Amino acid sequence: MNKLSKIISILYWYQVMHSKKHLSFSAIISMIADKFAGIEDRSGKNSSNSIADIMLSGLACMYFQSVSLLEFQRRMERKEQRNNLRSMFTVQSLPSDQGMRNVIDQVDSDVAFRPIFKELFSKLQRGKHLEQYQIFPGKYLLNVDGTQYYSSDKVSCKRCLIRGHKNNQYHCHQVLQGAIVKFGLRQVIPVMPEEIRVQDGDEKEDCETNAFKRFLTRFRKDHDKLGIIINADALYATTPVIETIRDHKANYIFKINPNNHKTLMDNVQSLDKSKIETLSLRKNKLIIEWVNDVELFTSTKVRTNYIAAWELVPQKDGSNKSQYYGKWITDLEITSDNAKTIIDGARAHWKIENECFNSLKNHGYNIEHNYGHGSENLCYNFYNFTLLAFTIHQIHQLVDKLFQEMREQFGRLGSLWERIRSLVDLLFFESMEMLWEILSGKRDYRVPPI
């Protein structure tokens, strides 16, 4: 290795190690505290708590997945004149539950959370941690999908959508979520979501594809040079969405529904068989076929590339049964070199449902729990608190060696968080890192002096 190569290598590893410091728990909380401190308090309640204390308390509850966290810390404060929210989350004064909700209800979600998601993403980029998520050189899969996280036939606010039939309507909150994913990687990297709601000055109900247009516009402002491939279901395979993606210099992979994309399927089926490319993999068990430059809709003359894949599953009688993976369209030119990667990317769309939404709903984060509805932004802000906590946890698992060592001591992630919650409720720790070191077996617990 020559002198220049050594210098480049040293600089690279310095950047990586420096970035890991900036992605430690304490560094992340310090950054978030600075961002929260700059929020305007519009509650008009003359709270004795700072806006940063209130917002950090909300985040802490979601981080520990505990709705009773504040009460336990108040007891500790009364008994010992100290608490874990101060030592871990820099909260100087614990708010009351109702006081916290009153203030959070008035906080502008985009102002409060977008800069934080953007900064976390940038820290991952600078530390080279995102490079492993590239599906092609300089290209990342950005999975998008909508989900519902609140519904009620009694409690509502002006932000609520109205769903259901005329005689059986209910109010709900929905969101369009995006996340960077990679097949073969467990962790997903969520980005700032877009609320699906009636827009100011518009009497029509909002919908997922309209929210997507706003989402992509704002995402591009935050990450104008990032190469992205939008990975979504058949709902997005429309001319307006494709044009929006082109306008924002992105690519797409969309699943299609043959019943809703008859022009495309008719065009593919009418082609001479010699024009349809085929690739057989896994000893002819995985079959991929594709054709480039076919018309999607006659009315708009949109042209796209079609790809399908299926597996031949051996049966007991010796025959093979075709099991379809699916059919998709993409504006990426398909070749024998990239067809398998495109299929892997397309099939990774399930990761936003399973690794993101399923985790948020069914694995401790309780995204559908009613933390209080409010009249303005309370419901959506608690969604963002929960998503932010989940994102921080994903970063811990991705880059934090101490967290990873602690994680290895527990067979199930849920068991780890149960242990963390019980210890945080009962014992004082000088820092989060102190707690992690104890749980990873690196040190014994000794009561810190008051």
Which pLDDT score, from 0 to 100, does residue 17 have?
43
Interval 357-371 mean pLDDT: 77
Which pLDDT score, from 0 to 100, does residue 3 have?
63
Which pLDDT score, from 0 to 100, does residue 1 have?
53
Which pLDDT score, from 0 to 100, does residue 321 have?
79
Interval 218-247 mean pLDDT: 97
Interval 146-157 mean pLDDT: 88
pLDDT of 7-41, one tens digit each? 544 443 444 344 467 899 999 999 999 999 999 87
pLDDT of 285-297, one tens digit each? 899 999 999 999 8
pLDDT of 373-389, one tens digit each? 888 999 999 999 999 99
* Separation CA 201–CA 199 (nearest Å): 6
pLDDT-derived band at 44 (thresholds 50, 70, 90) equals low
Of the ranges 106-115, 166-175, 313-322, 390-399, which one carries the lowest mean pLDDT score?
313-322
- Does the pLDDT at position 136 exceed 90? yes
Please state the φ and ψ torsions of residue 328, each to the nearest 5 degrees: -140, 165
Every domain of the chain and the residues it spans:
255-343
298 Cβ contact partners less than 8 Å away, ≥ 6 residues apart: 263
- Does the pLDDT at position 220 exceed 70? yes
pTM over 0.85: yes
pLDDT of 160-201, one tens digit each? 898 887 788 888 999 999 999 999 999 999 999 999 987 765
Of the ranges 63-67, 115-119, 282-286, which one carries the lowest mean pLDDT score?
282-286
Which pLDDT score, from 0 to 100, does residue 13 have?
40
Interval 425-433 mean pLDDT: 96
For the beta carbon of residue 347, count every other beta carbon within 10 angstroms: 17
- Does the pLDDT at position 363 exceed 90? no
Average pLDDT of the chain is 89
